[in-house]
Structure 1
Amino acid sequence: MRRALGVVAALVLLGGVGYALIDHNGPDTKTVTVTGLIGSEKRAFFENDEVKAELAKQGLLVRADSTGSWTMSDQAAKTPGLDFAFPASAAPAREIQRIWKLQDSPLVPFYSPLVIVAHPSVAEVLQNNKLAELDPVSGVWTFRMDEYVNALKGGRRWEGLSGADKHPELSGQLFVTTTDPESSSSGAMYLALLSYVANNHQVVSDDAGVAAVKDVLHTANALQGIQKSSSDEPFRDFGAGIGNPLIFAYESQAATLALQNKPTGDMVVLYPDTTVYSDHTLVAHTDSGRKLADVLQNDEVLRNLEARFGLRPQAKPEAFANLMREKKPTFAPDLTAARIKQATLPSLDNLQKLTAAAKGTK
């Protein structure tokens, strides 16, 4: 079976986290046990007591193991009896559909755009050098992807940026820190985004497209050195005041801190003016899996809970906007109004080739 992004065998192992939802309906209520796989970034949501209680009211007792989205297709292929798989993006979901020989379209109950987090001083340096822009009315920051690609191609350094001399921590070549694209969804989506922008805002769909962008992808990846396998790690490093000044992250990571009234320090959220969305895509293998997908998308209580975890419910995106209105840092309530464009993701096969090019293995 074709491996997703060539991940080594150790990464295929499950995270070892299993849990069950508690049945609050009493002994007379018929409860369906739903077994599946989830991306590790959704573990906290499914472990939440209110989420458990609401799913139980719908007669669902869920048992799930968490694993990386890019290793999930391997696990789905060799694990019998699964009702669903729930990766963080559409590419692995399509591969799982192929493996399970499914024709129906999977549901996307919620999504989260990928953003860049930085400190205000860094954002201001970027703004002064036309790499970022602040909307004076909404307070929403955007990161200019075309200028960033040009900076990577030209080897632009922090020391050469106007105003950077006031911040001695800003040194070396300018780049964004990501996770390892061979094992992490956010790292792979960064390459997909970068390749789209570098390919004249067109999806890379063939070997010629891969060849056209391979140099900038290799530069962007090689500058990072050793990469983390989980998006939590560079995000935690940023919160601790260590690591690179620019971190690629899920919007939901920053939003969750704000919604839970946890310290966000002086974090600024910059939306790439062209970005990718983490479309949390539920592939239902059975009727029980389809019921779970349906309630996650259509149950009002669950949609509000999804928003409380910093996710944008597909059927009710305003739930996120309403919660974030008074929160800091500033979030974009409406991505279209903020003029944030969405890149088209390549096929899994081409994304594998882009990853190999970034890693210098092709």
Structure 2
Amino acid sequence: MGCSSCSTAKDGQPKGCKNNGTCGSDGCNKLTVFDWLSNMSLPNGEKPFDCVEVRFKNSRKEFFRNSENLSLSIGDLVATQATSGHDVGMVTLTGELVRVQMKKKKVDYKKPDLPKIYRKASQKDIDIWQKCRNREEEIKKRAREIAIVLKLQMKISDVEFQGDGSKATFYYTAEERVDFRQLIKDMAKAFGIRIEMRQIGYRQEAQRLGGIGSCGRELCCSTWLTDFRSVSTAAARYQQLSLNPQKLAGQCGKLKCCLNYELDVYLDALKDFPGQDTKLFTEKGMAFCQKVDIFKGSLWFSYKDEPSNWHVLSKDQVLEIVAKNKKKEKVASLEEYVTETLPEVEKVFENVVGQDSLTRFDKPKKRRNNRNNRNKKKKRNNYKKRPTNNA
């Protein structure tokens, strides 16, 4: 995620476009959309779709009607209709794909009250917009100080100005209901603008602010993930993950969304797989399941009297023993069914860089000095053996 102006500056420092996700190439933006129908022309007599998708700060996107038939393309800044005044946003999608997106978001494009696009943003609109964007961090800090003085149990996470600078939306998170009437009065008096408070969840907060996850990549919710599905601890149990809240929780403090990515594959594999609570009855004694490997199709069982001695069985073998137990038949022992396992090959990590020891530079090298000393001795001996000419 980087545009052509996000190159490297002097001394290897990242230059950055400093547009805070509003560069014209749309490469630094969150939830960037690729228009794969841009090179295709419409059939004869077909009018272009008159709605466009506009993105505002962070991941907020809305649909507007292009009633003025403006020639718009991805990356254009436009002045759009707002509740009062106008807002400034960037066009992220045009054409027939907007119809698909509106259908997906369940927005009726035939509604007569769909907000409109006034015009392409002029330089004056852009200057006012950028000036308001530069004030957001300062106002957010001041708003947090006011909330602390009023002893409100809430966290103001983000501030978004309207394009004309007449209104600011404060996004906050709170565990309980908050009475912020006095807060609105104090902020309206301090900032001289109209205030709107909007409560969001912890996942939405992480989506707006962004960050780096434990995998080392940008958060899925701030780059490509658009819908939040509920994540439960059952997803971790199906995938045989340790129920450690520190490892399973993301930056938002909730369970990681990536726990659902491979869940369907595990559920399909577990359809005809014996449960982990399966018990096998043998003449030698009852055996319990200790470990399961779903994709290798292996299960480890141990006798009740020998819990440290594990026996590896395949899925089919376990199902066969379970079928016999249902008929009240006992097998002789688990040793008859143990699969032959190949010995694990110990991995030998080779030193591909050639650095044998971390302390290789601690001891001074003496080879070069010894070689120089030997060369000096040879020169002295040769000089002594040189014949002299007596006159």
Q: Aligning the two structures, in what range does the TM-score lie when normalised by the shorter sequence?
A: under 0.3
Q: When the two structures are superposed, what TM-score results if normalisation uses the length of structure 1? A: 0.19
Output the TM-score relative to the length of structure 2: 0.18
Structure ID, larger Rg = 2
Structure with the largest fraction of helix: 1
Higher relative contact order (CA 8 A, sep 6+): 1
